[in-house]
Chain A
Amino acid sequence: MNDKNKTTPKKELVPRQPMPEQPAEERQKNFKEVPYGYSPETAMIEARRCIQCKKPRCVAGCPVGIDIPGFIKAIEDGDFPESIRILKESNALPAVCGRVCPQEDQCEILCVLSVKQEPVAIGRLERFAADWEREHGEVKLPKVAPPTGRKVAVVGAGPAGLTVAGDLIVKGHEVTIFEALHKPGGVLVYGIPEFRLPNEIVEFEISNLEKLGVKMVNNVVVGKTFTIKELMEEEGFDSVFLGVGAGLPWFMGIPGENLNGVYSANEYLTRSNLMGGFDFPRHDTPLKKGKRAAIIGGGNVAMDAARTAKRLGAESIVVYRRSRNEMPARIEEIHHAEEEGIEFHFLTAPVRILGNDEGSVVGMECLKMELGEPDDSGRRRPVPVKGSEYVLNVDVVIVSVGTGSNPLLTKSTPGLELNKWDYIVVDEKTGATSIPGVYAGGDIVRGAATVILAMGDGRMASGAMHRYLMGEPEEEPEES
């Protein structure tokens, strides 16, 4: 099936198929998803662009090693059920990854087509197959193996934890997910906004897990409600997976950061997405909408916050220390943000936030920067330009300069080995922590990373957990 490269040379002439999307003027006033997705016809045209490489380079760029030519071939043939079957062999949440994966840096950047033209739209095709399955009620739940009598606790219902739960339930283990918030999904529901990833997609995946028998227990903070020791010694769990994410927001430590109207991106997005604050007062959680909002930072999180502020009616200004080239956000997100009229102040650093008598933000003093010598990361270090201070008139400031390890769980778990940044240390091949039977993966191991890496960690750990539960020896992982 890989052997069609030479026979259809015309393929290369077909351009990468654009994905229709909501016009920018309209979408900046609503929270509906921006791109509409491919139609079956467009998907098949795009799928035909793939030349089905014998040694597909794209696969090497996918952290979970999806059989990319395989699932694309099935789309080309119009066999959508087969395509989703192939996807799900390696990826439990294709509808999510097809939307939020940084494809342009992972699978697509390696696609051979990108030498001469644009790469195959792997992410869009993945999204298409998953949406087709969901919208056509075609979802086939995998078969569950006979009960093994083993009990597994998954802590945290983000992508890492959901992957582990899905993998282990089909192997016949009893799986319970404990989630601290009142709703499962992790960053997928409290962080990433509706216009990029509709909540219903995550809800659908979770309902499928429940249909398979996974028990979802919300409102349990492990480390507080239960300790890991209690889960294993008193509640009878044989093995535990920790997928608690990297949720502790960093602030900058500049004057005025505790004024009213200054948010961490986590708080701002949680109030809007998880708590429905965009819909206040129909939802009880308030959110300062503001007239002009400054968003500090240049990552995906900053883009999400800026685009949310815009939709809530504020003029939205991104303030970033370095230049556009150094921005860590996905190109697509920056592009969408620009289209939506979000302003960018590059090479600009906040110095302090100014307030009035009531303690509310009335402005932010900034300093212009220029690029100096490269730093450790190889990026040119921004250095302040003397006397370039100016005041940005804003009434909301959203700090989006990164997150760190939340010590709540790790500090309550004696014997759990942490690195110097307080992330959990695991065996690279199994995800095993320093406590027997306890595994970990996702952002709490890597630091803030990506959805697909968290899922890849979950997949690896679930394999090792299964062997542990069945008393099988840890085999040498095969080289692929």
Chain B
Amino acid sequence: MFTITKKMNLSHDVHWMDVDAPYIARKAQPGQFVIVRIGVTGERIPLTIADSDRDAGTITLVFQEVGKSTMVMGGMKQGDNIDDVVGPLGVPSHIEKLGLVVCIGGGIGIAPVHPVARGYKEAGSKVISILGARTKDLLIMEKEMVKASTEVRVCTDDGSYGQKGFVTNVLEDLIKEGAPIDVIVAIGPVPMMEAVSKLTKPYGIKTVVSLNPIMVDGTGMCGACRVTVGGEVKFACVDGPDFDGHEVDFAELRLRQRMYLKEEREAIETLTYMSE
């Protein structure tokens, strides 16, 4: 049993949750994730460790309600228990002291990019973060990102806050300004990571993306999470989740993520039916 020690809403469907998991908190590094199973009939879903506190023995999960499991989690409160949390899984993000690092978080992707930005900054790199959201109310963790970065630029699709446009517009401006970027870390929806990778490829700027295929065990045992990178099949849970964005087959990833669309809708229907 893993107890929820804190729970809050960041926007209407995005939640922050601290979970008591001392062993995981002690080991967690930026870029790693856990697999959560809420209860006996639950699915195993991967969530990035957005933060961890060794002393308190807690890890922070930030998640968006997109389907049955995340909706049920969204309804949980402080003091409730989650049956299973396992981790920290995946290869930690590579972090070193560099001249300039650009961290891009799109939507819910701001949560997982946060520890990476902080890590680079603590290592002594200059960090410019670009945060994107559909609209002002959906922008999360701006305060935390300001702390974790040297400079933050915000954009919204509808222009309700910050610059109007996509993170790629902001990034393009930055590149054109001639910023000497050493590496870009982009985490967010697949189309965003793909667009960023496409933009940076002609410039030859190293671009790291964090892939989120469907997973089951998270230990390399099932192969559900296979992605094609540089023409080779990789298991994202053990070989990743970070990969070179210029090498990733995004089209395949997008199709694979939609594998259970029909079943997921059915699951939500039974959830609504049960709560009526």
Contact = CB atoms under 8 A, between A and B. Distances in A.
Nearest to B232: A253
A284 B84 contact: no
Contacts of A358: 255, 258
Nearest to A191: B221
B260 A286 contact: yes
A286 B263 contact: yes
B266 A281 contact: yes
A271 B260 CA distance: 13
Given A220-B23, A225-B27, A359 B252 contact: yes
Contacts of B258: 260, 358-359
Interface stretch (A163-171, A244-252, A470-478): A244-252
A408 B235 CA distance: 12
Given A180-B86, A182-B84, A284-B68, A359 B255 contact: yes
B260 A218 contact: no
Contacts of B88: 224-225
Interface string B217-229: 1011111101010
B247 to A, nearest CB: 15
A266 B222 contact: yes
A219 B83 CA distance: 10
Contacts of A359: 252, 255-256, 258
B89 interface: yes
Contacts of A263: 223-224
Q: Which of B44, B217, B238 has the most C-beta atoms of chain A within 10 angstroms of its own C-beta?
A: B217
Contacts of B252: 258, 359
Nearest to B228: A258
A285 B233 contact: no
Nearest to A286: B263
B86 A221 contact: yes
Nearest to A181: B217
Contact of B267 (A182, A264, A270, A286): A286
Given A218-B84, A225-B87, A260 B222 contact: no
A226 B275 CA distance: 40
B207 interface: no
A281 B86 contact: no
Contacts of B219: 180, 221, 247, 406, 408
Interface string A220-257: 11001110000000000000000000011101010001
Contacts, number: 116
Contacts of A221: 86-87, 89, 219
Interface in B119-136: none
Interface in A270-327: 270-271, 275-276, 280-286, 288
Contact of A182 (B23, B27, B86, B222): B86
Interface residues of B, number: 40
Interface stretch (B35-43, B95-103, B191-199): B35-43
B216 A270 contact: yes
A191 to B, nearest CB: 10
Interface string B173-198: 00000000000000000000000000
A408 B90 CA distance: 10
Given A225-B24, A226-B23, A406 B263 contact: no
A267 interface: yes
Interface string B40-67: 0111100000000000000000000000
Given A219-B84, A284-B41, A267 B23 contact: no
Interface SS, A side: loop
A269 B69 CA distance: 21
Nearest to A409: B219
B14 interface: no
Given A225-B87, A225-B88, A258-B252, A271 B216 contact: yes
A224 B221 CA distance: 15
B4 interface: no
Contact of B270 (A218, A249, A281): A281
Interface string B74-97: 000000000111111100000000
A247 B27 contact: no
Interface in A356-372: 358-360
A281 B266 CA distance: 7
B142 interface: no
B85 A219 contact: yes
Contacts of B41: 276, 282-284
Contacts of A286: 260, 263-264, 267
B220 A248 contact: yes
A246 B260 CA distance: 28
Contacts of A180: 86, 217, 219
B68 to A, nearest CB: 6
A181 B35 CA distance: 10
A313 to B, nearest CB: 14
A408 B87 contact: no
B223 A284 contact: no
A407 to B, nearest CB: 8
Nearest to B254: A359
A260 B220 CA distance: 19
Contacts of B228: 258
27 contacts: A180-B86, A182-B83, A182-B84, A221-B86, A221-B87, A225-B24, A225-B86, A225-B88, A248-B220, A249-B222, A249-B223, A258-B252, A260-B255, A260-B258, A266-B222, A267-B222, A281-B263, A282-B41, A282-B270, A284-B42, A284-B43, A358-B255, A358-B258, A359-B252, A359-B258, A360-B259, A408-B238
Interface of B: 23-24, 27, 37, 41-44, 68-69, 83-89, 216-217, 219-224, 226, 228, 233, 238, 252, 255-256, 258-260, 263-264, 266-267, 270
Given A180-B219, A247-B220, A406-B219, 17 more contacts: A182-B83, A182-B86, A220-B23, A224-B87, A225-B23, A248-B221, A251-B226, A253-B233, A258-B233, A264-B223, A266-B223, A275-B44, A281-B263, A283-B43, A284-B69, A286-B267, A408-B220
